[in-house]
Structure 1
Amino acid sequence: MFGNNTSGPDALFADNGYEALAKYDGLRTNGKINSKARDGKISREDDVYLKLRLWSDENLDGVAQASELRTLEEMGVESINLKYDEHYHEEDIYGNEIRMKSDVKMKDGTLNLIYDLWFRTLEP
């Protein structure tokens, strides 16, 4: 999961999930920058694209099993837009905060909204 607790390739924490992903925009696995791929989105041009997984908690246990993880390719994701609406904010019925929104472009050309979700923490 990418978020404000994600340490990037620079070993620094990001302010949110979009900023965490942006650290990989155009970054090659050898640490060099591919300037053609530094375009404000994560796509096949970025080495990290093949490493990212989408999780669907099919058995609702809160634990990611290998069978619940899919590649972006498998899910038909062409690109993740890293330009986000920083003013978007709402809260779900469980107290989780839905902050910042952007979109993903699917291989069929459709755009789907995506959000940076901040889980509510409970006091012990």
Structure 2
Amino acid sequence: MAAFGVEQDDVTYAVMIDCYGRVGNVDMALRLYDRSRTEKWQLGAVTFTTIIKIYGTSGNFNGCLTVFEEMKALGVKPNLVCYNTLLDAMGRANRPWQVKSIYQQLLSSGLTPG
């Protein structure tokens, strides 16, 4: 991109995190996510959902919850896909109390369960 005079911005990096996560390059997605926290990039719900899915797939269920809480602390509103991804991870983690809590948050956010 630099060769064409195009500077990367937060949106570019967010898309890169999402793409790396979706194609299975977990290390690169997580490296960019760590960098995003250091450099305070503005990430959206889709990017956070990708990271939650990566952590859930790898069995890092506490990581899922941490990312979800970071997301909310940054003022990013979870969408239905994010809630569903987190519910799936907590279900696989055999944490029914967290499933219930997340489900209640989903309802209180005004979203309709899918």
Q: Tell whether the structures are fold-level matches, with TM greater than 0.5.
A: no
- TM-score w.r.t. structure 1 length? 0.26
Give 1 or 2: higher strand fraction: 1
- TM-score w.r.t. structure 2 length? 0.27
More relative contact order, 1 or 2 (CA 8 Å, 6+ apart): 2
Give 1 or 2: higher helix fraction: 2
